[in-house]
């Protein structure tokens, strides 16, 4: 099957090259320095996508590579990239037009994926000593600017920070010979497309362009042809094969949102559950679930967009090193993150699309290992799941209503009977102090919580006439009246300072009387 300007290489799993001692990276034309570095990591035999892509990429041909998650796409472009550039130890390095300027650019949609790709490139070039710089946001500019001024060979980064450095004129892309878009379907999505196109326009037209992803919709392929020159489309499976890895066992249950924490807590206690990634739809849900699992006694951490870059890297490092066994994440970690020995992936909520589902469950069952993927679908998301099920040709058209006590849940996921969703009892809550409103003591509280009595009210008032205080009346209480009739009479007949007679206010109980004014 061919398209205009495109050669499609398509193969089925039955015809894929097997990883045997007779088939090595050296057989594909990889130089000894890189094969030696890979051998130190016990990587000797290539995966199918690597066997198909490396000969084409090493020849300098544009390519679109597609394979399931966890099948070695990073090294498929990374090995050819490292072999085609010149490093300071090569004799050809001095012949470069601009030594020290980036010769290869790899763009990734997330910071975590950029860090992982750079780590893989460092491992593959441990003998050849290529200078790889990772560029991403959320951290300071100083170290990145220092590395660029010193000189780099490969730049791996996210579009936002890359474009920022280009606009600062700190990053020169005019000498890039190899351009790679990892997770190309995400990079060419509408959200990233303007930045990606601006970055591509800064590179030479004579460059080699490589696109790799597990999912490659036809619209993205059509859009990619604008930036590729007669690309070869390499697909390490047949066009009608499933996008999900066959080694991953999938379970889908209809569950109530309030019962999901208990279900997750019981799944985590399955003997086969060693390291688990749980995906949520929102950042708030990820943090709330991580806190809930910690309260239940599980070693859990979270990674989402509300955390700064340092906190995200620490959480991912703790999960990689096995200090925590549960990682609750949003889709920021669903793209390309390669963590070994992830036994279970749990979709706490139904994914938004079939592509999101493929990338999420692709975190388990990697590199030929077995894995389990569990999806919990709420009642409101049943229609969304049916769309995903139909698009991926799965076998879950009708979902079984499942609760934390359902026998089939224990049987399907090998959960011991009688398991509860907690490893420790919940901490007792302090009882709230209830106080009768009528018995509330008079007074007020400061901001520090200390009680303070109100000062006594000053009942005295000043007499005013025409806005001016009356002499001898300042500070006189309202009920200050003379006790003797004589005093009352004197007060009645008294005159004010301006000569006018003033009215007399009688005490309560007496008849009100107004003073007459002399004619």
188-207 pLDDT, tens digit each: 775 788 899 999 999 999 99
pLDDT of residue 378: 94
Q: Using the 3D structure, point to which of 180, 214, 235 is the last residue of a domain.
A: 235
209 & 315 share domain: no
- First-residue to last-residue Cα distance in the chain: 122
Does residue 495 form part of some domain?
no
Inform me whether the pLDDT recorded for 16 exceeds 60: no
Q: How confident is the model at residue 216 (pLDDT cuts 50, 70, 90)?
A: confident
Q: Using the 3D structure, point to which of 385, 412, 439 is the last residue of a domain.
A: 412
Return the residue matching tokens 């007496």: 510
112 & 62 share domain: yes
The residues, ordered by sequence, that sit 6+ positions from 130 with a Cβ below 8 Å of its Cβ are: 82, 85, 87, 121, 153, 154
CB 235 within 8 A of CB 66: yes
59 & 199 share domain: yes
401 & 346 share domain: yes
Does residue 136 form part of some domain?
yes
Does residue 34 form part of some domain?
yes
The residues, ordered by sequence, that sit 6+ positions from 162 with a Cβ below 8 Å of its Cβ are: 105, 107, 135, 155, 171, 195, 199
Return the residue matching tokens 């969703």: 421
pLDDT of residue 278: 95
Distance CA 388, CA 149 (A): 48
Lowest mean pLDDT among 81-90, 163-172, 394-403, 487-496: 487-496
Q: What is the pLDDT of residues 450-473, one digit of tens each?
A: 556 667 666 667 777 877 877 765
Does residue 465 form part of some domain?
no
45 & 169 share domain: yes
275 & 164 share domain: no
176 & 269 share domain: no
pLDDT of residue 215: 77
* Structure-model confidence comparison of residues 287 and 192, the more confident one: 287
Average pLDDT over residues 263-286: 93
Q: What is the pLDDT of residues 314-356, one digit of tens each?
A: 888 899 888 999 999 988 766 656 677 889 999 999 999 888 8
Average pLDDT over residues 492-499: 49
Q: What is the pLDDT of residues 465-494, one digit of tens each?
A: 877 877 765 454 444 444 444 444 444 444
117 & 208 share domain: yes
* Structure-model confidence comparison of residues 361 and 178, the more confident one: 178
Counting residues of the chain whose pLDDT is more than 90, the rounded percentage is 42
pLDDT of residue 513: 47
Does residue 488 form part of some domain?
no
pLDDT of residue 483: 46
Q: How confident is the model at residue 244 (pLDDT cuts 50, 70, 90)?
A: low
Does residue 446 form part of some domain?
no
Distance CA 242, CA 416 (A): 32
* Structure-model confidence comparison of residues 476 and 98, the more confident one: 98
Inform me whether the pLDDT recorded for 135 exceeds 90: yes
Q: What is the pLDDT of residues 54-69, one digit of tens each?
A: 999 999 999 998 877 7
The residues, ordered by sequence, that sit 6+ positions from 370 with a Cβ below 8 Å of its Cβ are: 247, 248, 249, 343
Q: What CATH number should be reported for the domain holding residue 337?
A: 3.40.50.300
Average pLDDT over residues 235-246: 60
Spatial strand order in the sheet of 300-303: 300-303, 326-329, 276-279, 344-347, 371-377, 248-254, 400-401
Does residue 287 form part of some domain?
yes
Counting residues of the chain whose pLDDT is more than 70, the rounded percentage is 76
- Helices and strands of the chain, counted as H and E runs: 16, 22
Q: How confident is the model at residue 240 (pLDDT cuts 50, 70, 90)?
A: very low
Q: Using the 3D structure, point to which of 356, 382, 412 is the last residue of a domain.
A: 412
Lowest mean pLDDT among 132-141, 257-266, 423-432, 477-486: 477-486
Does residue 358 form part of some domain?
yes
Residue 109 CB coordination number (10 Å): 24
Total domains in the fold of the chain: 2
Q: What are phi and psi of 262, to 5 degrees?
A: -70, -40
Find the length of the chain: 519
Distance CA 384, CA 281 (A): 13
Distance CA 189, CA 359 (A): 16
pLDDT of residue 519: 43
Inform me whether the pLDDT recorded for 261 exceeds 80: yes
353 & 217 share domain: no
pLDDT of residue 341: 82
Inform me whether the pLDDT recorded for 41 exceeds 70: yes
Q: What is the pLDDT of residues 140-167, one digit of tens each?
A: 899 999 999 999 999 999 999 999 999 9
Inform me whether the pLDDT recorded for 279 exceeds 80: yes
Domain span at residue 304 reads 248-412
* Structure-model confidence comparison of residues 216 and 44, the more confident one: 44
């Amino acid at each position: 099957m061919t398209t205009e300007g495109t050669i499609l290489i398509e193969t089925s799993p039955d015809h894929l090259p097997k990883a045997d001692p007779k088939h090595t990276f050296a057989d594909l034309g990889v130089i000894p320095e890189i094969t030696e570095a890979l051998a130190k990591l016990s990587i000797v035999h290539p995966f199918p996508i690597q066997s198909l892509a490396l000969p084409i990429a090493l020849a300098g041909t544009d390519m679109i590579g597609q394979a399931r998650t966890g099948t070695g796409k990073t090294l498929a472009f990374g090995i050819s990239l490292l072999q085609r550039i010149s490093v300071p130890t090569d004799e050809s390095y001095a012949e470069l037009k601009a030594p020290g300027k980036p010769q290869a650019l790899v763009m990734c949609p997330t910071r975590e994926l950029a860090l992982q790709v750079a780590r893989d490139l460092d491992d593959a070039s441990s003998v050849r000593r290529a200078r790889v710089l990772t560029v991403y946001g959320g951290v300071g500019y100083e170290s990145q600017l220092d590395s660029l001024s010193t000189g780099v060979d490969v730049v791996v980064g996210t579009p936002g920070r890359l474009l920022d450095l280009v606009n600062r004129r700190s990053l020169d892309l005019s000498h890039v010979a190899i351009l790679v878009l990892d997770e190309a379907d995400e990079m060419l999505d509408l959200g990233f497309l303007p930045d990606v196109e601006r970055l591509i326009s800064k590179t030479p037209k004579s460059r080699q362009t490589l696109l790799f992803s597990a999912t490659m919709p036809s619209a993205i392929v059509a859009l990619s042809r604008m930036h590729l020159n007669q690309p070869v489309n390499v697909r390490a499976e047949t066009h009608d094969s499933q996008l999900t890895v066959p080694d991953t066992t999938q379970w889908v249950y209809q569950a109530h949102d309030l019962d999901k924490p208990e279900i997750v807590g019981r799944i985590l206690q399955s003997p086969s559950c060693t390291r688990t990634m749980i995906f949520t739809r929102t950042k708030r849900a990820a943090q709330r679930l991580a806190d809930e699992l910690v309260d239940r006694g599980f070693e859990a951490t979270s990674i989402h967009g509300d955390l700064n870059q340092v906190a995200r890297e620490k959480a991912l490092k703790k999960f990689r090193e096995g200090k925590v066994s549960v990682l609750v994440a949003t889709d920021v970690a669903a793209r390309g993150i390669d963590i070994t020995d992830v036994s279970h992936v749990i979709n706490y909520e139904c994914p938004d699309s079939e592509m999101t589902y493929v990338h999420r469950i692709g975190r388990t069952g990697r590199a030929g290992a077995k894995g389990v993927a569990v999806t919990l679908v709420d009642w409101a998301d049943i229609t969304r799941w049916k769309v995903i099920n139909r698009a991926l040709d799965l076998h879950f058209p009708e979902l079984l209503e499942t609760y934390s006590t359902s026998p089939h849940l224990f049987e399907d996921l090998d959960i011991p009977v009688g398991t509860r969703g907690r490893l420790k009892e919940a901490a007792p809550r302090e009882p709230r102090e209830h106080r009768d409103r009528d018995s509330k003591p008079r007074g007020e509280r400061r901001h520090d919580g200390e009680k303070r009595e109100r000062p006594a009210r000053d009942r005295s008032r000043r007499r005013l006439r025409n806005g001016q205080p009356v002499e001898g009346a300042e500070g006189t209480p309202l009920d200050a009246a003379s006790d003797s009739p004589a005093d009352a009479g004197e007060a009645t007949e008294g005159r004010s300072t301006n000569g006018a007679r003033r009215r007399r206010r009688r005490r309560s109980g007496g008849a009100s009387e107004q003073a007459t004014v002399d004619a």
